[in-house]
Structure 1
């Protein structure tokens, strides 16, 4: 395949987002940097998304469309990667949009510093475009060699330290990757139906192949927080996938010979994921929610992970939550879920 120098391939998995695709693509068409291709991967949508994708491809030469059966966003991204012609690649979700200088900012930083990866921040918004949260990195961070990536950057991707929020976001939005690294190492996304976060596993696998990475203070990516999306929908497998992901991350820590501080970062993120597992039980009636939460708090792996964690270093709310887990306070956790306090 011919790789076009300095072109950025933008891969967008599309599944039933007819309300948002046009805004997503329009935000790309308004970019200050113009050398890009847009690859829309229709992942078996059942609404009008396929027709909208086809219309955009007819209207704009830079837009390509792939139609495939539904297999999830990770597999859809792999299909996009298989036809990408850019030297670089970035990923956008079809219900999100980007600021006009995102591509230029990522490309300028990755090229000027001869980096293998550029990571930017995000802005989370609700359906009315009101800002919920901004993930911004205050200063330029340069991880100039393999050792710094493994010992300083990857631990922060596992999660925050017990005492403060200093994590690097899990995800590939507002990130720029090199296609030659992806192809040389046969990197591919796993299905989110088999892992809790295919983004996290992808990012760690990529970083293990990189020699230099940078983090910039750009917040040009807008994440639309949609409670009906796959991320927020009730998933009866979420707890099992959370345990599986923790064990996968443990394997990475052993492989990379990372220290106990990284294990505490992993555990803190694990507790955040457990909170989401319990929080989603608000969608069930009280008896079912109680039954599900009872299974969680009695899980041997969960209890072992909590057993030696420095709970007293956490903030008040986090501390209370973990103590309730440790003491298996099922009814209280269930009530707090129903009251939407968790």
Structure 2
């Protein structure tokens, strides 16, 4: 294998024996062959590791690693350390890509430039739909360039919440100690990307949809997250990127949506927390800088009137009643 591949592709693998073959084949068929493929098993209990070892024997560009189950963030972080190339890509093992996927991104591989492309959502039955948000982003910026004046547009269109379908410069990750948080269970990818964005001069939006995201039955936004305590840090990171003279007004809808996810997570039916613990969580949230930053957006939102009132006046009792009814009606 080439000792200095152009790209290191990092794939965390956990119990994806039924999907990983399609993913790997789509990469081995790339029009740009100068890459290494890091397949990292995260303590799978099915035949995933067995399949990975077979792949490794079939192609010298493939390297397989394995460890006890530590989660996707720890697995990706290990991939960053093991990568030999200057440029990195992250792909999920149940997804797949077009044959020119690497080539499309590598043509923009330059320090300070962040190439980002669109995703095709693949739902049950194989139905494919291009990301609507990314399509709107392309339409708004036909030049394909976002610079320091409009970098936040990438957040407005929710195109920074995944580490896939983009290219990273490894030296920046190592130099600035940029890692995936191994304690967060929600928006850890967003936090990683925001940290990387601090060292980016220009985002290159590719009018290209070559990454096929296969939707799972249970999305990250709907399940219960044990660690959802990053909102104060999220606000700080965004303010660091914006600078003292820039407002975050444009992304208040995004910030508010994240606030709602935090609230709904606290009252999630799968949460094992008791009444007192939930009340404490809400008190901390209501007294946070994050809450007061987005509070004036509450009545501009489309949530129902009862929810708006309870949230605006920081009424734990109102929210408790609302979610008791909500979870009851969902049964």
- TM-score interval, smaller chain: 0.7 to 0.9
Aligned mates of 1:19, 1:324 — CA distance in 2: 45
Stretch deviating more after TM superposition (208-217 or 85-94): 208-217
**Aligned-pair CA distance for 1:71:** 1.4
- 2:247 counterpart SS class: helix
8 Å CA contact 1:121–1:174 kept in 2: the answer is yes
1:310 to 2:297 alignment: yes
Match of 1:123 among 96, 120, 137: 120
Aligned mates of 1:80, 1:202 — CA distance in 2: 15
Q: Which string of whole-angstrom CA distances, capped at 9 and with x for unpartnered residues, describes residues 157-206 of structure 1?
A: 5x43xxxxx34331211001122322333332221x33632212221222
**Aligned-pair CA distance for 1:74:** 1.4
Distance change (3 Å), C-alpha of 1:250 and 1:259? farther
- 1:218 counterpart SS class: strand
Aligned to 1:252: 237
**Aligned-pair CA distance for 1:98:** 1.5
Please provide the CA RMSD for this pair: 3.4
Aligned mates of 1:252, 1:306 — CA distance in 2: 14
Distance change (3 Å), C-alpha of 1:23 and 1:339? farther
Aligned to 2:189: 199
Distance change (3 Å), C-alpha of 1:297 and 1:185? closer
Distance change (3 Å), C-alpha of 1:236 and 1:12? closer
Distance change (3 Å), C-alpha of 1:184 and 1:274? closer
1:56 to 2:47 alignment: no
TM-score of the superposition, structure 2-length normalised? 0.79
Aligned to 1:4: 4
8 Å CA contact 1:297–1:325 kept in 2: the answer is no
8 Å CA contact 2:185–2:226 kept in 1: the answer is no
**Aligned-pair CA distance for 1:292:** 8.3
1:179 to 2:170 alignment: yes
**Aligned-pair CA distance for 1:293:** 7.3
User: How many residues get paired?
Assistant: 316
1:141 to 2:144 alignment: yes
8 Å CA contact 2:118–2:206 kept in 1: the answer is yes
Match of 2:150 among 149, 152, 157: 152
Specify every segment of 5 or more residues in structure 2 that has no aligned partner in the other structure, as ranges: none
Specify every segment of 5 or more residues in structure 1 that has no aligned partner in the other structure, as ranges: 161-165
- 2:233 counterpart SS class: helix
